[in-house]
Amino acid sequence: MSPQLGRFLKALRTSAAEGHITVTEAARRSGVARQTIHKWEGGEAKPEPEHIRALCEAYGAQPEQLDRALRLRAEPDPNSAAA
């Protein structure tokens, strides 16, 4: 997964925390476990587009932030390139 996507999702969460949205609440709203969000943020797993949309909605992200997250998700994984 693109490390940039993980960092971007974490930045959205940090911003949303100022609005009192917890990881637990974001997980509930997006239909995943808290640990799953942490895996996405850490680059260990790649969220599906519908989960990105749900997270962005939970975090109160702007449309351009959603677009950026979806673009970052579409980028090739630098760790899976053939040597």
Note the pLDDT of residue 83. 40
pLDDT tens, 15-47? 877 778 888 998 998 899 999 999 999 989 999
Per-residue confidence at 80, pLDDT binned at 50, 70, 90? low
Per-residue confidence at 12, pLDDT binned at 50, 70, 90? confident
pLDDT tens, 41-75? 998 999 999 999 999 998 888 999 999 999 999 98
- For 2, list phi and psi in degrees, rounded to 5: -65, 120
Q: Where are the alpha helices (DSSP H) in the chain?
A: 3-17, 23-30, 34-41, 49-59, 63-74
Spell out the residues 6+ positions from residue 58 whose beta carbon is closer than 8 angstroms to its own. 16, 21, 25, 26, 29, 30
Q: Could you state, in order of their start, the residue ranges of all structural domains in the chain?
A: 3-76
CATH number of 3-76: 1.10.260.40
